[in-house]
Amino acid sequence: MHPILGQRGRLLLYLAIWLPVGGLLSALVALLGQEKASAAVALAMPLALVYAFICLSSWYPSRGTPLSSANAWRVVTNHAAAAVISSCVWQLAVVGWASVLARLPLFAGAYIDRRQLVLLFFSFGLLLYLLSAAGSYLYIAFEASYEAEKRALEARKSEELAARELELARSLQRRLLPPAERSGKGFRLAARNLAAQWVAGDFYDYFRLPDGRLRIAVADVSGKGMSASLIMATVKAVLPLIAAERSVVEALRELNRKLAGELGDREFVALALAGYDPETGHLELANAGLPDPYLIHGDGRQEIVDPEGRKRNIVAIEAPQPRLPLGLRAEVDYQSVEVELAEGDRVLFLTDGLPEALIAAGEPLGYEALVEFLAQPRAEDTGQWLDELIELVRGATLDEQSDDWTALLLEQAARA
């Protein structure tokens, strides 16, 4: 397959075919004489028109048509037919005008020899062919510009429609999430959900049980974008139904069984589920693949955080194994850990988007750096505290967010 027959190629093809044809017809007119040539051209016209109609009705070489060995002869013959038609028309016109001029008194008895006639016809024909070719070139350029503009307009319309649909999807997803901040007797909480794309695969949820206890969930669906958001919506819808009448552990096991039967290969959900009693400060946590939540002691007391004996007031709440993400295996014996919160204590639930955000060196921020950031915010309000933390992470990482960021902060507040 040869390259596409472009605008310059078409112009050269016009000139290469039309000029010889025009020259031959001009010579024919000169050699036969005006009257005989007029008759010959008039007889050739219907034949040329029939041939051209047959060729051009089935195929015509348009801009961007591949020129191959299979259709090269058709391209040449079709242009030759067009050349014959236009040449005949112009020669008839010239002969006709010459006949008219010969009858005028001004040119009565004038003699033009055959060489002059050949030169006259050929020069006039060359001018007409050049004008025709230039017109064809301009038409092709205009057609190409029009088609390009049309395609660009259609592409812009498609992009605008896709953007509106994605904006609608993001708006609907935000409506699925509970309010970003809430407080009640014995607790305050705030949450932030920042999508890497238009829609997020992460989500958070919380709801109260009839006895006043809270169920809190933070989850990260595998992948990003629309497919992850659809799975997120499904899990968000069924979670309250499953967790309302079950313990934290049983709810996580049942949700896992359901997702194992519905999710496809390489699809899973990492989820931390907690039960919290604002009256007593009792927190029960089961974890299926999410990073450990962090307990931040409000009174500054410290705990040993590693085998080397280092102490901090920020401690990871580590749930027992197994901690396999939901949906990978139908039967997983999840376990829970229990923590007693004092007034002023805070628990930060998060997905891996924050600690794994990329820094300038192209490496993840890391959990140690994140723990250092947890000690820096000073805001009393839980929402402002989360915003300060996110700004610290954003300032230390690249501008482009590579994964969804989701965090939920729970504070044990005064019970009065």
DSSP class of residue 330? Answer: S
Q: Which of 310, 336, 334 is nearest to 323 (CA)?
A: 334
Rounded CA separation 125/128 (Å): 5
User: The domain 177-412 is classified under which CATH number: 3.60.40.10, 3.20.20.370, 3.60.15.10, 3.40.50.300?
Assistant: 3.60.40.10
Q: Chain-centre distance of CA 1, in angstroms? A: 32
Where are any strands of DSSP class E within 86-236? 181-184, 187-194, 202-208, 214-221
pLDDT of residue 95: 57
DSSP 105: G
| Domain locations in the chain as residue ranges | 7-157, 177-412
Peptide bond between residue 178 and the one before it cis (omega within 30 degrees of 0): no
Q: Which amino acid is at 160?
A: E
pLDDT for position 361: 83
pLDDT, residue 250, reads: 96
> Helix, strand, or coil here: 245?
coil
Please name every residue paired with 406 in a beta bridge, in sequence order, or none if there are none: 193
Which strands form 269-277's sheet, in the order they lie side by side? 202-208, 214-221, 269-277, 282-288, 336-340
Handedness of CA 126, 131, 134, 135 (dihedral sign): negative
Q: How many whole angstroms separate alpha carbon 203 and alpha carbon 108?
A: 98
- Which of 122, 228, 190, 186 is CA-nearest to residue 382? 190
Three-state SS string across 279-313, please? CCCEEEEEEECCCCCEEECCCCCCEECCCCCCEEC
What is the pLDDT, as a whole number, of residue 335? 96
Tell me, what's the pLDDT at 345? Answer: 94
Task: With H, G, I as helix, E, B as strand and everything else as coil, classify residue 229.
Answer: helix
pLDDT at 80: 59
* Contact status, residue 202 vs residue 351, Cβ threshold 8 Å: yes
Name the token pair of 210. 């009839």
Of 87, 98, 92, nearest to 24 by C-alpha is 87
Q: 140 in the Ramachandran plot: left (φ > 0), alpha (ψ -120 to 50) or beta?
A: alpha
Enumerate residue ranges in the chain where pLDDT < 50: 1-7, 42, 45, 48-67, 106-107, 112-115, 118
For the record, the structure tokens of 17 come out as 């075919």
Q: What is the distance between the alpha carbons of residues 264 and 328, in angstroms, rounded to a whole number?
A: 9
- The Cα–Cα gap between 373 and 220 comes to 22
Task: List, for residues 299-357, the tens digit of each pLDDT value.
Answer: 777 776 666 767 788 999 999 999 999 999 999 999 999 999 999 999 999 999 999 99
Round to whole Å and give the CA distance between 37 and 95: 8
Structure tokens at 178: 């509970």
The reported pLDDT for the residue numbered 29 is: 54
Q: DSSP string covering 161-202, please?
A: HHHHHHHHHHHHHHHHSPPSEEEETTEEEEEEEE-SSSS-SE
